[in-house]
Amino acid sequence: MRRDGAVAKAPCIEEGAVRIQSTGEEIKTMKATHLLETYRDVVARLHNEAAVPTDDAASSDFLDAAQSVEHQELARLIATRLAERAKRLEIALTRVADGEYGVCSECRTSIPPRRLLAIPDATTCVACQEQLEQAGC
């Protein structure tokens, strides 16, 4: 309750069209849970989808061999991107444990919850990210 007699509202988290009243600790727990779920999904995809197909050049013609090489390159690209994403999510989980998650690494302000929902491994606020991109970092 505030001094003026009004009841202070707890922070809200929007989940689709539903608004959920939450305390600070609940918000941190939900963020950590969301990060962990995202990390597990990425690692599962890395194990399931990123297997590089083998080349069976002995029994294939030129077009089959070219298609096989294309599939191999695509599988490697997917594996690389998933591994990079998993690493960024590991860093985000470390930031949660250190109490730094949701804080911009550049200006130390709070990163908006909608940005973290869209990009769970974000380490900068939108303004700082734009400055970094303009600087070519």
Mean pLDDT, to the nearest integer, of 13-19? 38
Q: Which two tokens stand for residue 131?
A: 């400055």
Helix (H) and strand (E) counts in the chain? 4, 2
Lowest mean pLDDT among 34-38, 51-55, 102-106: 51-55
DSSP 70-98: HHHHHHHHHHHHHHHHHHHHHHHHHHHHH
Please state the rounded mean pLDDT for residues 112-121.
89
The average pLDDT across 123-135 equals 94
Residue 134: what pLDDT?
92
pLDDT band at 32 (very low <50, low <70, confident <90, very high): confident
Q: Name the band, by pLDDT with cuts 50, 70 and 90, for residue 87.
A: very high
Instruction: Give the pLDDT of residue 71.
Output: 87
Domain-by-domain residue ranges, the chain?
26-101, 102-137
* Residue 72, token pair as written in the block: 């191999």
Give the burial string for 83-105 (b: 16+ CB within 10 Å, else e). eebbebbeebbebbeeeebbbbe
Calculated CA dihedral for residues 8, 10, 11, 14, nearest 10 degrees: -120
Mean pLDDT, the chain, rounded, equals 77
Residue 11 has pLDDT above 60, yes or no: no
- pTM beyond 0.75: no
Q: How confident is the model at residue 19 (pLDDT cuts 50, 70, 90)?
A: very low
